[in-house]
Structure 1
């Protein structure tokens, strides 16, 4: 048995073979537990590899295992140029979890003239990924329909209208908005408006449904113009809130429930521009629990979902699907946490109510 020529040189299969007096092919097969290698030889090779600090290259390891160890994420097509901080947090958590297991995350966007399915199909056809994580699902989602038929492992952050036969991780959006309305009603708000998102997006539809159900069950008042759909960013929220403020003061909502924190912050800017006090003249509540909500003035009441941990959990789920496929889809529903802050308070009394106080 020869000795390695230098401690400074990286240990390779060739050097291991020289050290042990074995063929390189035997070393490679022993390291990858091929059954045609005698147990005594396998143990000898693996013991020497540990002692000498041999680590297989990622490409060699992947070739030996027949996997690519890469998860794909195709950025959803966006109708606006505004960033999505919730999606960025999910990607951060997902990348972190994958890296802990020496897997990679391939993030790609959609070229002009194509859609997400085109890109997913190209990645599947070129064998560049082992699986996918899908986010921001629509009620009827072509990406999910494609992956159902592809045989490629995938996890959905969110759900579609028919989520029974695939793995997903979602927040109970409808129940979260029921709890939000319940909280506002408990403070004394009756006239509660809602800035909703794109109703083709399932999370937005679920939150909208929660608002309507809770307002009906709890005798809330939805005036004309109180529910505005299609609000997707701060700018559209700013304009929608201006429309609400055009309603006669006695008829306008005393509280505003917003589909995301970004939408809530846009509405807050509109109120401030109009000379109104957020949390006093009109209360505002968001959804997501983004860090910026603590920094705005007043601090934003929100329904918190840990988007970073959602990304981590999606990573754990897709790794499990790729390495140890379960017999049935794994489906996880988390609850949002209502986080009260200064942007929501009991409704201000009208001058007539104040006069009835006596004192």
Structure 2
């Protein structure tokens, strides 16, 4: 087909199909045969057909958009984790014919107020909520409002029913401890954040449970914390651990950015990773593979999880399932070169 089709009616006529069939095929309805959906999609691409969003909204009552609020809390709008997450979310939505709206909450402004505006303006059919707090007013608002949403993460309150997808950080931190313990480490460090985020608690609890299972009184755990987006405070916290009179032989960081800071400061202090110090992170962001000697971490499948969240949310919007949709993804160990046997002697 070489002629540009401008309207849905013209596209349907060119395919000798009804307008309803073409509309449903473009929306991905499973009632329409797969071959027909593929044929319609190919013709629409070749013709440069773009759906009339305003007309679709009037007919269906839906905008075709999903919202995500991005709080500006550091020097960059999007960090490594959110960059992968937003990419995967956009990919997942586009594959179903939906689009993503990004709304920013400037520093000092309430993220909830921005979320309210997205919801109450009718701009989005549903929203995705990331980085869940211990007590999260965003989820309480969405649940009370009855607005479709999926959270990337879990609340500590298990009685609160909602749609979520999460990675099993507790299992990963337990696995990290067991691996390091079997390599002879008995003095551990944990570098974490001060913000009341549930993923912080879940990962820390997984580490504590693994230590308790061993029942070894010689195991020690030192913990330092810093505000997530305060780079100087992060460096100071790491150096308190590294330059103390009795530093750990292995450090587990809450996520990769903290682990990379540990490796940078260890190098400045003249420590060799992993000969003098083992370091393990979480998330497997792109930089973890290139920071020498290569960070051992856990792959949280960020992009794939975001795609799955897009599928879940569109299901929630279209089908309104009676029971909440939930998925727990087990991260996989990516063993690089930043961990090794415990040093037997120290200079």
Return the TM-score normalized by structure 1.
Answer: 0.81
Number of matched residues? 321
Task: Give secondary structure in 2 for the equivalent of 1:109.
Answer: strand
Q: Distance in 2 between matches of 1:326 and 1:335?
A: 25
Residues 236 and 265 (structure 1), Cα distance of their counterparts in 2 relative to 1, 3 Å cut: farther
Q: Which residue in the other structure is 1:43 paired with?
A: none
1:103 corresponds to 2:98? yes
Q: Distance in 1 between matches of 2:126 and 2:226?
A: 32
1:76 corresponds to 2:76? no
Contact 1:304 1:339 in 2 (8 A): yes
Gaps of 5+ in 1: 1-6, 20-26, 34-45, 353-359
1:193 corresponds to 2:169? no
Residues 291 and 32 (structure 1), Cα distance of their counterparts in 2 relative to 1, 3 Å cut: closer
Contact 1:198 1:205 in 2 (8 A): no
Alpha-carbon shift at residue 253 of structure 1 (Å) = 0.6
Q: 1:174 aligns with which of 144, 147, 170?
A: 170
Contact 2:191 2:225 in 1 (8 A): yes
Q: Which residue in the other structure is 2:210 paired with?
A: 214
Q: Which residue in the other structure is 1:117 paired with?
A: 112
Q: Which residue in the other structure is 1:136 paired with?
A: 131
Contact 1:199 1:229 in 2 (8 A): no
Task: Give secondary structure in 2 for the equivalent of 1:279.
Answer: coil
Alpha-carbon shift at residue 150 of structure 1 (Å) = 1.0
Task: Give secondary structure in 2 for the equivalent of 1:101.
Answer: coil
Cα shift readout 1:100-142 (whole Å, capped 9, x = no counterpart): 1111100111135531110111112210000000001101101
Q: Which residue in the other structure is 1:57 paired with?
A: 52
Q: Distance in 2 between matches of 1:348 and 1:28?
A: 72
Gaps of 5+ in 2: 25-35
The structure having more radius of gyration, on CA atoms, is: 1
Residues 137 and 76 (structure 1), Cα distance of their counterparts in 2 relative to 1, 3 Å cut: farther
Return the TM-score normalized by structure 2.
Answer: 0.84
